[in-house]
Structure 1
Amino acid sequence: MSEVETIQEIAFKLMLEQNKNDKILNGTTEKTIFVLGSKGVGKSTMINNFLDKNEPLRTTPTLAIEYSYAKRTNSNGQSNQKLIGNIWELGSLANSNQLIDVPIKSHGSLENFSAVIMLNLAEPDKISLDLEAALQGLKNSFSNNFNDSEIRQFREKIIENEAYKNHPDIQTLEIMPCQVVILGGMYDQFENLNSEIKRHVIKFLRSISHTIGSSLIFYSSKIPSLAKTVRDIMSKLAFNSPLNPIRIQRIDYNEPIMINALSDTWEKIGVMPSNSERISIHYNTQIKQNKKTNDNSLKEVVTNPTNDVNFREAIIDDLRAMKDEELLRLIKHSDVKIKFDSFNLTNSPFNYLN
């Protein structure tokens, strides 16, 4: 007996079908960017900056997963091609296995799919765990949605690029089957850390980025030049803009790091060829990772999201208010009934406790 589809599953299929029809009719090109990583690092602020949203600074974290999009029209002389950039943001890496599947399922292919992993540079004792969780989550999701042959084809298509073919380290790398960018957030705080800690963090992130074939950029919303660079990177991922956002490579640990994918080498980093697992183990021996999370504080913050201005919905709020009033009347009626029954019981001639 086949399982009955839920309303959510039916709606999801209808959305995919509608998107497919729209692309056929309008000649629309779609790309998807999945932003995930450390909690509280500024993922929403970075996305809003790209979308030109002048929203007030959020006081609560993104709860689960959020969706937004950007549109452009590319005029090529004969027709106006619509470009759509779908942007998904994952609030927390904890218990997010099913949520990570959503952006990948909605896109249906890895050819025009990219992942932006944003890490908190100000917390070196959590970077390794956050990066490992993000990469493992992506890999698991790829396996859930594509077979080994499809993943191999996506990876081979990326490696067909001349920059990859001619790279001296290509045989030692674990190239991801989609485009990946690692953003080191909170750089304005990181630059004031101890020099030795900064060296360890940078060497670790350069090594992992090189291993998986990703770009590595340090970022802060408080530094205009870095904010503009990341905005340009998001534009390139969403709309394939021709300009390269990283015009000058920077590898000095006293400056914000800027490295294009496959521009680094093991020799430049100063380490022997390795894999992501051994790189993480080595980093963890230098900077012990703090496995404690802030899940409890998150629960406290979002105990009652109906009081949060970020979740205002006029129609839903009005209905909720009506139900709250109805509930209060029921509770009041129940309290009166309990007192009345208690009074009758106390004064009853059948009360043997008197």
Structure 2
Amino acid sequence: MPGASDTLWEIAKAEVEKKENQEGDRDGLECWERSIFFIGNKNGPKDIAHFWELGGGTSLLDLIPIPITTTNVRALAVVLVLDLSTPNALWPAMESLLPVTRKHVDKIITKLEETNPKAANEIKQKIWNSLPKDHPDRELIDPFPIPLVIIGSKYDLFYEFDSEVKKIVYKTLRFVSHYYGASLVFTSKSEALLLKTRALINHLAFGFDRSKSMAVDQNKPLFIPAGLDSFSQIGPPPASDSDIGKLHAQTPMDLWKKVFEKKFPPKNIGVSKEVRDPAQDPQYAEYEVDAMRAQKNQELEQYKRNAAKTWKEMEFES
């Protein structure tokens, strides 16, 4: 216990020694560092210090394994950021990013079972803790293996949409979020909405108490912590019985997808390339700058080849 006369260095030293002494007790989920991994549409999430962020649609799917490891998976959460102003890109973003992320998380947990089965089991059990034991949907959902938050960004633009459009997006995202045992929140530049989103992220990142309030009014931004919604409250997909009968869906998720895509045909969410690159325009040519740029491009390509080789060896070793 540091005394009043201890120097800053003595206090820091004492803290480090305390953590080292407790290192042997970290077989379970107790971790000193937590991680948050942001994925989503291009231009959806903003850069956040000390957080992983992968925005760019499906163009960077190969990079998803990098921030998810056996070291941090025990205290890792995933945040999927969706651009509400482009409804046609919502389902492609979810369908592309979530399964790839989930597959890698499952792979990492399987690896963890070989070295620390207790921790792996606790991860699996922890995800069900957010859902009450008497919840009527426990047998109907398929929770994401680690905490998942779905953020609908640009609510200020989405608010101006037609009420029927908003209804479909609201109900669909509620269904998907509840099915995956995820939290759902809509946000924009509004300070009030940012505070709600920040509180949810603080819960994931720092273990702060989770809000138990929820907002499901179609005329207001959604805020639904994991486990507080239900299929009975969400209701059926927003389509007539005759239309639903013609869709021939195999699963509830498939049915919601078909209903959603009928209204919002899928839109490519990859990174669009500019038709013209100013750097290649002769009118802006500068010998020294162009020579340095060419050198840096070569170095970048070499780095990418080396990095790709390293990751392939790491993830696909027999």
Q: Same fold (TM over 0.5)?
A: yes
Which of the residues 150, 155, 176 maps onto 2:144?
Answer: 176
2-structure distance, mates of 1:325, 1:104: 33
Note if 1:110 corresponds to 2:73: yes
Superposed CA RMSD: 3.4
Letter in 2 for 1:226: L
Instruction: Answer whether contact 2:130 2:227 (CA < 8 A) is retained.
Output: no
Note if 1:29 corresponds to 2:44: no
1-structure distance, mates of 2:162, 2:55: 29
Which of the residues 38, 41, 48 maps onto 1:38?
Answer: 41
Q: 1:327-346 to 2 correspondence within 5 Å?
A: none
Q: 1:165-314 to 2 correspondence within 5 Å?
A: 165-220=133-188, 222-242=189-209, 244=210, 246-271=211-236, 275-291=252-268, 293-297=270-274, 300=277
Instruction: Answer whether contact 1:97 1:141 (CA < 8 A) is retained.
Output: no
Instruction: Answer whether contact 1:125 1:290 (CA < 8 A) is retained.
Output: yes
Structure-2 change in CA distance of 1:131 and 1:302 (3 Å) = farther
Q: Which runs of 4+ in 1 moved over 4 A?
A: 25-28, 148-153, 298-304, 320-323
User: Which segments of 5 or more consecutive residues in structure 1 lack a partner in the other structure?
Assistant: 1-20, 48-67, 70-86, 305-319, 328-354
Instruction: Answer whether contact 1:174 1:275 (CA < 8 A) is retained.
Output: no
Structure-2 change in CA distance of 1:173 and 1:326 (3 Å) = closer
Q: Which residue of 2 aligns with 1:134?
A: 97
Structure-2 change in CA distance of 1:322 and 1:258 (3 Å) = closer
State the shift of 1:22 in Å. Answer: 11
Offset from partner CA, 1:284-305 (integer Å, 9 cap, x none): 123212236442139958989x
Instruction: Answer whether contact 2:137 2:230 (CA < 8 A) is retained.
Output: yes
Instruction: Answer whether contact 2:186 2:222 (CA < 8 A) is retained.
Output: yes
1-structure distance, mates of 2:279, 2:19: 38
State the shift of 1:326 in Å. Answer: 12
TM-score by length of 1: 0.62
- Structure 1 window deviating more from structure 2 (210-219 vs 139-148): it is 139-148
Q: Which residue of 2 aligns with 1:57?
A: none
Instruction: Answer whether contact 2:34 2:72 (CA < 8 A) is retained.
Output: no
Q: Which residue of 2 aligns with 1:119?
A: 82
Which of the residues 71, 82, 88 maps onto 2:52?
Answer: 88
1-structure distance, mates of 2:93, 2:46: 14
Q: Secondary structure at the match of 1:210?
A: helix
Offset from partner CA, 1:24-45 (integer Å, 9 cap, x none): 368771101001101112432x
TM-score by length of 2: 0.68
Equivalent pairs counted in the alignment come to: 248
Structure 1 vs Structure 2: percent identity of aligned residues? 26
1-structure distance, mates of 2:294, 2:60: 36
1-structure distance, mates of 2:61, 2:176: 22
1-structure distance, mates of 2:186, 2:73: 25
Q: Secondary structure at the match of 2:73?
A: coil
Instruction: Answer whether contact 2:41 2:269 (CA < 8 A) is retained.
Output: no
Structure-2 change in CA distance of 1:135 and 1:170 (3 Å) = same
- Structure 1 window deviating more from structure 2 (179-188 vs 134-143): it is 134-143
State the shift of 1:142 in Å. Answer: 1.7
Structure-2 change in CA distance of 1:26 and 1:95 (3 Å) = farther
Structure-2 change in CA distance of 1:149 and 1:294 (3 Å) = closer
2-structure distance, mates of 1:212, 1:326: 46
Which has the greater radius of gyration?
1
Offset from partner CA, 1:40-62 (integer Å, 9 cap, x none): 12432xx3xxxxxxxxxxxxxxx
